[in-house]
Amino acid sequence: MPPIEQAAPAPGQAQAPSPAAADSPRQTGPCVMVIFGATGDLTARKLMPALYNLAKSNLLSREFAIVGVGRNDYTTDQFREVISQKLQSFATSALDNDLRDWLLRRIYYVGGMFDDPAMYTRLATALTEADKTHNTHGNYFFYLATSPVFFGDITDRLGAAELVCEKDGHWRRIIYEKPFGSDLESAKALNRQVRKVLTENQIFRIDHYLGKETVQNILVFRFGNGIFEPIWNRRYIDHIQIMVTETVGVEQRGGYFDMAGTLRDMVPNHLLQLLSLTTMEPPISFSSDAVHDEQSKILHAIQPLGGEDVLHNAVRGQYGEGTISGEHAPGYRAEQGVPADSRTETFVALKLMIDNWRWAGVPFYIRTGKRLAARHTEIAIQFKRAPLVLFRDTPVSDLKPNELIMNIAPDEGISLTFGAKVPGAQMRVGSVQMDFNYTDYFGSSPSTGYEVLLYDAVMGDQTLFQRADMVEAGWSVVSPILDVWKALPPRMFPNYASGSWGPKEADEIITRDDRAWRRIKG
């Protein structure tokens, strides 16, 4: 992560400092990025536009090359042409032709099956040539944008081909897309497997939520300000809600998604990242290990849900057909690649507790799902009510508790609600809101969210990546739920209509505690 610095443009005035400004992060060193799964969606939609943005911001070394590896039978020229077209569609701003051509000139392609030793020989040759042509000093990082079933085998084969051993002063790294494992046991097994070939500082387990400015801002908000941390605990906070709701369905990913389900797809990674950043203790520094130590501690402190708890505190759902934004949406079972009798969940709500001094007794309500009424990602911190109500014209029930909302998407910012006097002769209290919006203050610079992650990977900074123990701790939270759900298959699927807020059982998880989900405009 680039170092945290003070920057204070006035609202509506100066924009955020441009990446090329003198105090900006420095350019990466020379290297080759090898993308496994180079003809897939992630490469086209995120990785290539992110590399283009880094080059545009002058953050990418001129001594840089890309080798795409895929199962299609392209030549390098054909692959460049494909990438050129995809960039046209997915670049986050208008393309500069010179810069695009600069990037295309350093792209190469190696076709073949991931389990074919001959492909690794061809890859080694392509890397040697790229090294010579672009002076990349033997530094390589491999981005595995493939199905996770290939992660272990590709790592072994890269090891066997001696492409990941670090010697003669160069570095070699592998970035693993999520999901890293499909439960606790498989994540542990994969960790063991990759660590036979690599050391932990060569392993970058990605979670794209950590590339979001607003997610990184959780740490700055908490630890860059003096006034919030003293009230950030069970004495002042009543409960926390974390929601990631989507209006999209499974799109083209029915095959993968039906094997995974929302619990695996979203909770051990994205949702628990948001939870851990919101609840961790202050790290002793912003070094990667110091931050990971605190995240890991908090993940280990989440109370595991045992058999009975799962029945009470975990709710699953699957969408049926319905209407979203006035359009008819098909049910999950009618999606491409999904069996007509699928029992895979597309919605999850959980109530979690954290067993430590700071959070004892504070419930965390988590909700995530597809085809819901609105796309919205937020962390809502609800504070306790004032201890004594002095205003006799306002019934206690009308006094709203203070709420601090961290908006992650689609709005990006923070808002605080508090009570204010309603103008008039009576002493009445109304609820008002103070808003900070990223775009108002810093302007917006469109990005994919992958820029900072790729940049950090080349710089060798692992702060925004997950360490082995964090991944395993995330799965430890989720695995007992997976076990119970597997033993008790759902009987009432589909149980929510597309365009709704999920199954009614999800409401019970929170109304049982005399609380309610925050209402978001659909």
Catalytic residues: 270
CB of 445 to ligand BG6, least distance (A): 17
Q: For residues 296 and 466, is the Cβ–Cβ distance under 8 A?
A: no
Identify the DSSP state of 450: -
Of the residues 265, 294, 412, 451, which one makes contact with ligand BG6 according to CB under 6 A = 265
Q: Report the greatest alpha carbon distance in the chain.
A: 84
Amino acid at 3: P
What are phi and psi for residue 91, nearest 5 degrees?
-60, 145
Of the residues 238, 246, 378, 412, which one makes contact with ligand BG6 according to CB under 6 A = 246
Q: For residues 462 and 286, is the Cβ–Cβ distance under 8 A?
A: no
CB of 241 to ligand BG6, least distance (A): 16
Name, in order, each residue with C-beta under 8 angstroms of 157's C-beta and a sequence gap of 6 or more: 114, 115, 117, 120
Given CA atoms 106, 111, 114, 117 in this order, what sign does their dihedral have? negative
Give me the residues paired with residue 422 across strands: 428
CB of 27 to ligand BG6, least distance (A): 27
Q: Is 451 in the site for ligand BG6 (CB under 6 A)?
A: no
Residue with the shortest CB distance to ligand BG6: 265
CB of 15 to ligand BG6, least distance (A): 24
Burial (CB count within 10 angstroms: exposed 0-12, middle 13-18, buried 19+), residue 456: buried
Q: For residues 290 and 284, is the Cβ–Cβ distance under 8 A?
A: yes
| Closest by CA position to 119, among listed 72, 171, 172, 65 | 72
Binding to ligand BG6 (CB under 6 A): which residues in 377-396? 377
- DSSP sequence for 453-484: HHHHHHHT--TTSB-HHHHHHHHHHHHHHHHH
Site string for ligand BG6, 406-445 (x = CB under 6 A): ---x------------------------------------
Q: Tokens for 175, please give them.
A: 């970035």
Which residues contact ligand BG6 by CB under 6 A?
Answer: 178, 244, 246, 265, 377, 409
